[in-house]
Amino acid sequence: MHATPLERALHGAAAMASTHSIFTTTMSLCAALALACGPEQKETASDSTEPTTTGTTAPDSSPTTGPTTTDATVGTSLDTTSTEATSTTVATTEATTEATTEDEPLTACAIDECMTPIPIECDDEDMFDCKPTCVFTPWDCGLPQTCPPLKIQNTEESPDKLVLNSPVEDAVCVLQQLRDRTVGRVTVEWGDLQGFYGDIAVNVLANVDILGDEAVLMTWEWEYFTCCGDSATQSRRVLLQPTTYFDDCLADPSPENLALCLVGATPEPHNPTPQGYFLPWTLGMCDEQPPACPS
């Protein structure tokens, strides 16, 4: 059975009323949701302290991620620049420190004791690579060498005993020059000159400038510089024994007695300068005058 035109009109009006009712309800719900959610979203956005964060950025229709990539690139660049700047600063500081240390001039060694040991500094890995830590200038008054240099040393047959290894007349000459206070230079070397006692030579070379009064200037230099021993010793004005000491020595010019008069009984081949050692023809002390070469 077909509906009449009146029935179709009534049915359509009912449908339209139902549709309008649904639309009105839907719009009311949306408005309510907007009022509930809108202010909360704005508050969240305003509370953020980050200038740009991915979580609060509105969706972009562009397929690229430009801002994120830019941020990452800038961060890496800044970090790299900072690291390079820090490395450059450290390297520059180290180079400056090293240059300052190397270029810093050494001062003259202070000879403030009667017999002043010259300080040395050795390499940590090589105990024989040693250098003075101050400017060391041995005494040299330009005086003539009045006697041949003397050697008092051990021998292969007697490695633990020091004996005169120079002509007797050379030893007599040195003792006479010291007794008479003759202006000039004498040289005495003693110790294990050839390494008979140990693996290396341990000997001291003493250059003695006789000043013409009651004193001498001396420089002792070891055969080697090592962390295990002394390197050099510089004196002030060392006082000489009275002339009678030398007369007694010259009264018995045997090699054994001459050796005792020149270096004494305490030195040993492996230890030519015991603690506090002075050569026996001195008084073991200095006077108060400033050290100076004879005019």
Query: Per residue, what are the HEC states of 118-144?
Result: CCEEECCCCCCCEEECCECCCCCCCCC
| Cα–Cα dist 177/210, whole Å | 8
Q: Which two tokens stand for residue 182?
A: 């003759």
- At 80 the pLDDT is 47
- At 71 the pLDDT is 42
- At 124 the pLDDT is 74
- At 43 the pLDDT is 42
- At 4 the pLDDT is 47
Q: Which stretches of the chain score pLDDT less than 70?
A: 1-103, 126-128, 197-201, 224-230
Q: What is the pLDDT of residues 189-225, one digit of tens each?
A: 999 877 776 666 678 999 999 999 999 999 999 875 4
Q: What is the pLDDT of residues 147-167, one digit of tens each?
A: 999 999 998 888 889 999 999
